[in-house]
Amino acid sequence: MIGTMRSLHEVDPATEQFVQQEQQRQETSFMMIPSENSTSRAVMQACGSTLINKYAEGYPAKRYYEGNAVVDAVENLAIERAKKLFGAEHVNVQPYSGSPANLEVYYAVLKPGDKILGMQLNMGGHLTHGHGVNFSAKFYKAAQYVVDPKTHLLDMDAIRKLAHQEKPNIIVSGATAYPRIIDFKQFHEIAEEVGAYSFADISHIAGLIAGGAHPSPFPFTDLVMTTTHKTLRGPRGAMIMCKKLDRLAKTEGMDEKQAAKEKDLAGKVDRAVFPALQGGPHENIIAGKAVAFHEALQPEFKEYAHQIVKNAKALAAELMSHGVKLVTDGTDNHLLLIDLTPTMGIGMGKPVAAALADIGLIMNYNTVPYDQAKPFNPSGIRLGTPGLTTRGMKEKEMKDIGHWMAQVIKEPKNDEIKQQLRKEVLEMTKQFPLYG
């Protein structure tokens, strides 16, 4: 029967079973993929609300459909909260996710064939920062910076030199596998020197920035993109923030109206999102974003953000005390990158990550800088503490987890050890329930 009143249980027990299985999996294991997190029930309620039913192409007070008074209020609430959270001049909360949002940023300020300078993927960057298989290197030219071969840190002098050589139109800062502080101010200064836009992709560390646990790219960076579901702990989605005015607008020969449009960076971003690259915004998800921003504006969120970093440092110290090699020998943020090369040899990331998953510690295999192995069989493991910190865990638990991890890393095939450790992990998950 077609209708709206019946529950998932009544309509589709097969899907309901998977939903329950996934909840059970999350409750009984530890989410240690650094880009994952657990949203609050409040965020999930907003995302699962009747806002899911509404079409709202356009922007608040400028929609192409009737019936959007409530939707307008929700979207404005999300925008105002995001502005307050980050100190942004302009915010667009409609992007569906990080990769489309990055395309929208490029579309807003570049012409096809313009040049992007971003961090190479296997050094810790992202596909959309100029990797050859991605639109960012197909529609645009791409130059890539790397980390220092010895320290594996970003070398700002080398990046400056490269920027002067390559003369990009936009410089992307931000990473998906970099465990140290990113100097957004210097990135912006370099962009100014070479006449490029500065663009920070803060997806991984947005929650740390909001909570004051990592330096901010505001107010100087031209364009900032973040996903909303990582350290920010919101629903799966993204947003773009930018300055109102385009510092690089060229208005020679334009009349006043054209010149005003050319200078309007906020307008360029909004038009790139809709109508250029997206259709109807997902207003239920925007409501979830509004809730997450409200949560992130509370004093407890500052504590949360700082605890993520404290936990990462405690976990790093414990792992290193057992001889586990970390890229850059530690962390300043939420993320750790284990380099298995010195202890296990190259290409061991996948089997060791699988062995850790056997005991209920879920992370991902990852390349390490200058990895000699291929990305699908790399030599590293990427992990982080946002998910653990959401469960209320602190340094003491990090010490236990680091100790368990070290045992598995030494003997990934030892089933006896893994069975024992699985019990310990399970016991700890019960002490720190997720949704009850």
Binding residues for ligand DSN (CB under 6 A): 35, 98, 126, 176
Chain residue at closest Cβ approach to ligand DSN: 35
Residue 201 among the catalytic residues: yes
Candidates 57, 155, 264, 424; catalytic one: 57
Indicate the pairing of strand 141-145 with strand 115-119.
Answer: parallel
Q: Is 225 in contact with 106 (CB distance < 8 Å)? A: no
Residue 413 among the catalytic residues: no
Query: How far apart are alpha carbons 367 and 52 in whole angstroms?
Result: 38
- Give me the least distance between CB of 312 and ligand DSN, in Å please: 15
Closest CB to ligand DSN among residues 169, 364: 364
Query: How far apart are alpha carbons 37 and 39 in whole angstroms?
Result: 6
Closest CB to ligand DSN among residues 95, 98: 98
Nearest-CA neighbor of 280 among 88, 40, 39, 56?
56
- Give me the least distance between CB of 35 and ligand DSN, in Å please: 3
Closest CB to ligand DSN among residues 98, 234: 98
Residue 57 among the catalytic residues: yes
Residue 6 among the catalytic residues: no
Q: Which amino acid is at 193?
A: E
Give the DSSP letter of residue 52: G
Closest CB to ligand DSN among residues 63, 204: 204
Candidates 63, 81, 180, 230; catalytic one: 230
- Give me the least distance between CB of 371 and ligand DSN, in Å please: 16
**What is the torsional sign of CA 192, 194, 199, 202?**
negative
Closest CB to ligand DSN among residues 58, 349: 349
Residue 303 among the catalytic residues: no
Candidates 55, 59, 84, 400; catalytic one: 55
Q: Which residues of 358-374 are buried (b: 16+ CB within 10 A; e: fewer)?
A: bbbbbbbbbbbbebebe
Give the DSSP letter of residue 214: S
Nearest-CA neighbor of 174 among 146, 203, 196?
203
Residue 25 among the catalytic residues: no
Neighbours of 187 (CB within 10 A): 27
Candidates 83, 115, 160, 236; catalytic one: 236
Closest CB to ligand DSN among residues 63, 126: 126
- Give me the least distance between CB of 290 and ligand DSN, in Å please: 23
* Structure tokens that stand for 326 in this block: 């970390």
- Give me the least distance between CB of 358 and ligand DSN, in Å please: 21
Residues contacting residue 52 through CB under 8 Å, at least 6 positions apart: 282, 283, 284
Closest CB to ligand DSN among residues 58, 98: 98
- Angstrom distances, CA of residue 403 to CA of 43, 318, 322, 323, 398: 34, 7, 8, 11, 8
Query: How far apart are alpha carbons 314 and 409 in whole angstroms?
Result: 18
Residue 278 backbone class (left: φ over 0; alpha: ψ -120 to 50; beta: rest): beta
- Give me the least distance between CB of 133 and ligand DSN, in Å please: 14
Task: Provide the β-strand partners of residue 31.
Answer: 362
- Give me the least distance between CB of 411 and ligand DSN, in Å please: 28
Candidates 176, 227, 328, 385; catalytic one: 227
**Catalytic machinery residues:** 55, 57, 201, 227, 230, 236
